[in-house]
Structure 1
């Protein structure tokens, strides 16, 4: 398949799945196999286009993330800087573990079987959590302590396993420690910014360090995937925030189990 068409397809998949608790990496691995877009560049492409989705979060939450401007009060600026500090604390475990283990994970775990198992297990956990989750002591990001932010960051490390879902790991972690569904989702958005930026930079560095050269055409393919994922993700972020105001995450748990079972049953016949 033409790489530009693949870039559009994968950009759409990334934009839809990055912030839903269904694993963007897992879906990209599976779709990559279907469209025949594989190899070292494809792995780098999958990570880099996530920056497009992350940019959508920055744009959507710009007023809550940007601490400068004459219209912001001292209190507003203090809260924004506190949010950034909590985000950095939360992302530290993933950065440290990512540097130590990413090459091994990329080599050994990026396969349909791992994705399928992770999807099913994560789906079951989501359903159980939503069925038993009653305590919602943390009703705003401001009430989130630095200790809790760090513990949520430890949960985020589970997302290194393809199919787990970074958003699912952080949302589950936040809810386990008493955050409301809304707070868990928003903090998951914020954690994504430094996490995915670091992952993208590291992926590009690792690829270039091996002596690989990204051609002009490949840069264009990256740009197409980036732009598509940005616009699709922007719509998904807004839709998800509306969705969780009245509904829970069980439907995503059932979806994970369904697609995971499909991959387990038919995956090796297709791939």
Structure 2
């Protein structure tokens, strides 16, 4: 933690100088490590990384609507120019940008598939080209919906209660899908490979991914559900989710850096951000490798029970003040 003195002018928020002369850095190294661990462990699990990051930010006290200040102690103007960039704005942006660590983890774990797609891009791998085609088709619905709805989502859904609702609804959907499709995976028949999916089925999985724009839903969950419905087994469904996330998370992170990057890096110190990225990468690699085997053995039901338990704890904490 470090402190910054603040310039207060007539055009800036009204703050009594005798009450608030110094702003502390809004994020500590510990905060960065916690957010990185939460991102890494939950990005690929069907429990919603964004929802968990929002909850973690609240518990760490990083949801302040106080104006953020830069390294010179000046208030940071919002993107629109008619207000001020807040601490919550900066942390919300970081919760999206930190997904770059999960992207790096996918590149590390699935480098053979990524290499195949790159070869397919230059006409040297038919399998790689078909895989890249399917992932691109699946990506299109989410990017269109994200561009149209991202501001409304951040303004109205980046808070605790929307996350709780999404956790519960997602759990119910997982129970239904596991019961309907989980018993149909016959190990005696050959598994469908990702590059063998039709364009239509790939697009259907992409439509499911749009649902994950609601924080707390889980991009991993909805893409795995969609993959189950088009006939993929758990191992291939998880793999499709990971590789699709490579494109989707890259687009979301790049867009957020473009729209909020200057303000975010001005408001948050470098060291906690770097620690968060490092922790997120390491834990993402572990989570990605573990999930494939777990899904194959146990399916989606354990994650559904976890979501219900978490929702119950959050209701008790935020509504009944039970803790």
- TM-score, normalised to structure 2, is 0.77
Q: Quick check: 2:28–2:272 contact (8 Å CA) kept in 1?
A: yes
Matched, 1:256 2:293: no
Give the aligned partner of residue 193 of structure 1.
246
Give the aligned partner of residue 43 of structure 1.
92
Q: Quick check: 1:3–1:37 contact (8 Å CA) kept in 2?
A: no
Q: CA RMSD in A?
A: 2.5
Secondary structure at 1:195 match in 2: helix
Give the aligned partner of residue 107 of structure 2.
58
Give the aligned partner of residue 79 of structure 1.
127
Give the aligned partner of residue 295 of structure 2.
244
Matched, 1:6 2:31: yes
Give the distance between the partners of 1:204 and 1:231, measured in 2 at CA.
22
Q: What aligned pairs does 1:142-181 form with structure 2 within 5 A after superposition?
A: 142-181=195-234
**Number of corresponding residues:** 267
Matched, 1:19 2:44: yes
Give the distance between the partners of 2:264 and 2:307, measured in 1 at CA.
36
Give the aligned partner of residue 142 of structure 2.
94
Cα gap change, 1:212 to 1:125, in 2 (>3 Å)? same
Of the three residues 153, 161, 165, the one matched with 1:117 is: 165
Cα gap change, 1:121 to 1:88, in 2 (>3 Å)? same
Unpaired segments ≥5 residues, structure 2 = 1-25, 64-87
Cα gap change, 1:32 to 1:139, in 2 (>3 Å)? same
Q: Quick check: 1:51–1:200 contact (8 Å CA) kept in 2?
A: yes
Give the distance between the partners of 2:41 and 2:168, measured in 1 at CA.
19
Of the three residues 212, 216, 220, the one matched with 2:271 is: 220
Secondary structure at 1:246 match in 2: helix
Give the distance between the partners of 1:53 and 1:269, measured in 2 at CA.
35
Give the distance between the partners of 1:69 and 1:95, measured in 2 at CA.
21
Which one has the largest radius of gyration? Answer: 2
Matched, 1:207 2:260: yes
Which is richer in helix? 1
Give the distance between the partners of 1:232 and 1:13, measured in 2 at CA.
9
| TM superposition shift of 1:35 | 0.6
Secondary structure at 2:265 match in 1: coil
| TM superposition shift of 1:76 | 7.8
Q: Quick check: 1:83–1:141 contact (8 Å CA) kept in 2?
A: yes
| Greater mean deviation of Cα atoms: 177-186 or 225-234 | 177-186
| Greater mean deviation of Cα atoms: 76-85 or 117-126 | 76-85
Q: Quick check: 2:27–2:62 contact (8 Å CA) kept in 1?
A: no
Cα gap change, 1:218 to 1:187, in 2 (>3 Å)? same
| TM superposition shift of 1:68 | 8.2
Cα gap change, 1:184 to 1:213, in 2 (>3 Å)? closer
Unpaired segments ≥5 residues, structure 1 = none
| TM superposition shift of 1:75 | 10
Cα gap change, 1:130 to 1:146, in 2 (>3 Å)? same
